[in-house]
Amino acid sequence: METLIFDLAGAVGDLTRELGQGLAGMADAVQVQPPPPDAAPALPVGREGLPSLPGGGGGTSGLDLLNADRPGGAGAAVPAAKLDPVSLFLQADWVVKGVMLMLVLASFWSWAIIIDKLWRLKSLFRRADTFEDRFWSGGSLDDLYDRMGHGPRDPMSKVFIAAMREWRRATGRSGNGGSLSASLSQRIDRVMQITMSRELDDLERRLGFLASTGSVAPFVGLFGTVWGIMNSFHAIGMSKDTSLATVAPGIAEALFATAIGLVAAIPAVVAYNKLSNDIDRYARRLETFSGEFGAILSRQIEDRASPRGEDGGHVGHPGTRPAQDV
């Protein structure tokens, strides 16, 4: 039994040695020898040198197979996102689109108010200059009232017409000069103040919209920006791609809303300040004229109250024009 075991062990050892010698010979046979010094250099293999795929039908190479997995096929590039204003609006979320439309409409309406108020104030100052030249020309105020008629278009003429109408009603209803001096002057002043208040209220109409646009539009645009950035971060999380090409379009859309808000707010604030100053200057001019005209009518009432002051209710010329800082 022991002799059989030793014989088997010796046979296994001989087999192992023979296998080792055979593998060593195969390695020597496949070893690559270095090229001789005078050999020509190897040329790079181009696309046409690559083997064609079976069934490719026209020389489809391995590079084409790698590019075939990309969107658009071989040689296709990823399209860049458009960042012009129209594309930013069309690519934005519906909430951001609503914010942008609201701000654009507010900007258009603000400019319409600005142009209308500037044109109207320029016309009112020009008409006020013309009326004051006629008022202080030295002619009769009754003649001026008759020439102007009952449909004046500027506030200063309306103040004059209202005061003269009250004067004629009072003088035509009572022939007693003493009764006129008791309350007519106060009534005329009250009529002029009411007329001025009504005209200035009409002149200041819609200025509140400019003030609201100037103060609220930036925050409305900021709301659109915050909403757009939230959507951008959500899209980044869904795509798991933080590259600039993925982040930039959404951030640009969000910031575009803030830009529109500033475009709507800045002209509204500047125009509101200018228009307010011009209207205050015009209001002071009306108050000055009202005080001067009230003083002229008060003198006329005192003259009628005196025994030698009966003149039939007519108002003479107001005299020379006092110095004014308008």
Closest CA to 294 of 148, 146, 191: 191
- pLDDT tens for residues 218-230? 999 999 888 888 8
Coil, helix or strand at residue 150: coil
Report the mean per-residue pLDDT for the chain.
74
pLDDT, position 122: 94
What's the mean pLDDT in 162-173? 83
Query: In which residue are the tokens 């707010």 written?
Result: 265
pLDDT, position 98: 87
- pLDDT tens for residues 71-95? 444 444 445 556 666 777 777 778 8
What's the mean pLDDT in 100-121? 94
Position 113 pLDDT exceeds 70: yes
Please provide the size of the chain in residues. 326
What's the mean pLDDT in 302-317? 59
Most trustworthy range by pLDDT among 54-68, 253-267, 277-291: 277-291
- pLDDT tens for residues 114-133? 999 999 999 999 999 999 99
pLDDT, position 139: 80
Q: Where do the domains of the chain lie?
A: 93-305
pLDDT, position 320: 53
Residue ranges in the chain assigned as alpha helix (H): 2-30, 62-67, 85-91, 94-135, 141-148, 155-173, 177-203, 207-239, 244-305
Coil, helix or strand at residue 9: helix
Out of 152-161, 175-184, 237-246, pick the least confident.
175-184
Residue 235, C-beta contacts closer than 8 angstroms, at least 6 positions apart: 246, 250
pLDDT, position 197: 94
Residue 62 and residue 263: Cα distance in Å, rounded?
55
Residue 302, C-beta contacts closer than 8 angstroms, at least 6 positions apart: 181, 309
Model confidence at 231, pLDDT cuts 50, 70, 90, reads confident
Position 310 pLDDT exceeds 90: no
Q: What is the pTM of this model?
A: 0.65
